[in-house]
Amino acid sequence: MAERFAVASLNGGTKDEFLRVVGPVFEHSPWIAEKTWPLRPFGNLEDLHARLCATVKAATIEEQLGLIRAHPDLVGRAALAGTLTQASTTEQAGSGLNRLSPQEIATFQQYNAEYRDKFGFPFVICARLNKKDAILEAFPRRLKNTAAEETRAALEEIYKIAYFRLQDIFTQR
């Protein structure tokens, strides 16, 4: 069972505690929690999430692209090798991406390659809100986007992912 906290308990806690708890919410991007820490106190989970997302929105395009690039490919090398973060492993498994046929794996890998070639970052979608078939249908649709449209789409998906991860960590009080 994961450690659970109340948002209010972090408002008066140390910066190190805040970074330990909130830092992993955005995939391999603790800088978001670091930049959001001074905005305490947070009224509740929604307020914390909104401020974390505002930090991302205020970031440079290079920082935003770094955040997107910190995400793993769906059914990519890390997933197949078992080296994803625990959160990513759970999210991909929840959408059925750990139970694919060899053909489905090949399809994901083909889409991942096309997507990376076009945009320079991995395809990001909130796996908790999408099952395997919906994800496979989203690839060709999103491949039609411009780079700017897809950057915005990826960030919107990341905000959804972060919200679910915060829900996993925090209790409402």
Active-site residues, by number, are 71
In whole angstroms, what is the distance from residue 66 CA to residue 64 CA? Answer: 5
* Type of residue at 83: T
Q: Is 96 left (phi over 0), alpha (psi -120 to 50) or beta?
A: left
64-88 burial code (b ≥16 CB/10 A, e <16): bbebbbbbbbbbbeebeeeebbebb
Q: Which residue has the tokens 């950057």?
A: 151
Nearest of 33, 23, 141, 31 to residue 87 by alpha carbon: 23
Query: Do 167 and 44 meet the contact criterion of CB atoms below 8 Å apart?
Result: no
